[in-house]
Amino acid sequence: MAGIIEVCVGWILGIGSSYVFRIYDRNEKKNNFINGIQAELLELLPRIVSNVYVGKRETGKLNHDVLKWIDSKGIPEYTFVKHLLSYPAEEFSQALAIMRSEKAGQRPILKMFNVDYIERNIDMLPLMDEKIQLVTITITNRLKLVNQEIENYRFYFEKTFDPESCKTNLEIINTNIEGSLNVISRELTKIADKITELLLMIEEIKNIKPSTKLKRLIRNLVNYIKDK
C-alpha cells in the first residue's frame, strides 16, 4: 500500500514539476515580451505626439482641444502646454496665434514609424490576453498606413523643389501636402490613444500581486492534474 502511495505521489509531483517549469518558462517569455513592448512604445509615443503637434500647427488646426490632448499624454517636452491651458482666454488666443505662426510655411521632415521589437517578436503575441493582442495589432497596422501616407507626403514635398513646377502645380502640390498632413496627424492621434491604452494594460499586469499570481498557478496546476 505504501509503495502505491509513493508511486502516486511521485507521479503527481512529476506532472506538477513539469507543469510548473512550463508555466515558469512561459511567464518569463511573457514578461520579457511585455517589458520590450513597454520600452518600445514609451520611446515611440513622444515622437508620435510631436508629429501630431507639428501636423496640427502646419495645417492651422492647433486649438484648445488638441493642446489638451497633448497635455494628457504627459510628454516632458510638452509640459509648457499645461501652463498655456491655464491662461485666460485672451492670453491663450494670443499665445496660440504665435504657436500657429511658428515656422509657418516650413514643411516638416517626417520620418517613418517602426516597431521593430514588436515585429521581431510577433510570434510571442499569442501569449498575451486577447485584448492586448488586438490593441497591439491595431497599432502596428495603423502605423503601416501612416507610413504609406508619409511616403505620399514626401513625394509631394520633393515636388515643391522642382524648378519646373508652375504656380498652378505648386498650389495643387501644397493642397496634397496639407491633405497628407491632415491624414497623418489624425491617424497618429488614434495610434497615440491606442498606445496609451496598451501601456495602461501593461501596468495593470505588472501590478498584479505575487500572491495572486501564486494562487492562479496553484489553481491551474490542480486543474491540470485533474485533466490528466
Do 127 and 26 form a contact (C-beta atoms < 8 A)? yes
Instruction: Please report whether residue 97 resides in a domain.
Output: no
Instruction: Give me the pLDDT at residue 100, please.
Output: 74
- Cα torsion through 126, 130, 134, 136, rounded to 10: -50
C-alpha cell at 193: 490613444
pLDDT tens per residue, range 49-107: 999 999 998 888 889 999 999 999 999 888 888 888 988 888 888 888 887 776 656 67
Distance separating alpha carbons of residues 82 and 84, to the nearest angstrom = 5
Residue 6, pLDDT > 80, answer: no
Question: Residue 216's domain spans which residues?
Answer: 2-59+118-227
Instruction: Please report whether residue 136 resides in a domain.
Output: yes
Reference 96, options 84, 108, 114; nearest CA is 84
Query: How many percent of the chain have pLDDT more than 70?
Result: 76
Instruction: Please report whether residue 30 resides in a domain.
Output: yes
C-alpha cell at 166: 508652375
C-alpha cell at 73: 499624454
Instruction: Please report whether residue 159 resides in a domain.
Output: yes
Do 41 and 198 form a contact (C-beta atoms < 8 A)? yes
Confidence of residue 132 (pLDDT cuts 50, 70, 90): very high
Instruction: Please report whether residue 110 resides in a domain.
Output: no
Backbone angles phi, psi at 146, to 5 degrees: -65, -40
Tell me the average pLDDT of the chain: 82
Q: Which of 43-47, 98-102, 133-137, 176-180 has the lowest mean pLDDT?
A: 98-102
Instruction: Give me the pLDDT at residue 183, please.
Output: 96
Instruction: Please report whether residue 66 resides in a domain.
Output: no
> Which spans in the chain are helix H?
2-58, 64-72, 80-85, 89-101, 116-120, 130-159, 167-206, 210-227
Instruction: Give me the pLDDT at residue 92, please.
Output: 87
Do 220 and 227 form a contact (C-beta atoms < 8 A)? no
Structural domains of the chain, count: 1
Confidence of residue 116 (pLDDT cuts 50, 70, 90): very high
Reference 158, options 147, 145, 142, 170; nearest CA is 170
Residue 225, pLDDT > 50, answer: no
- Model pTM greater than 0.85? no
Do 20 and 217 form a contact (C-beta atoms < 8 A)? yes
Instruction: Please report whether residue 82 resides in a domain.
Output: no
Instruction: Please report whether residue 139 resides in a domain.
Output: yes
Taking the CA atoms of the chain, what radius of gyration do you get in angstroms? 26
11 or 63, higher pLDDT? 63
Residue 42, pLDDT > 70, answer: yes
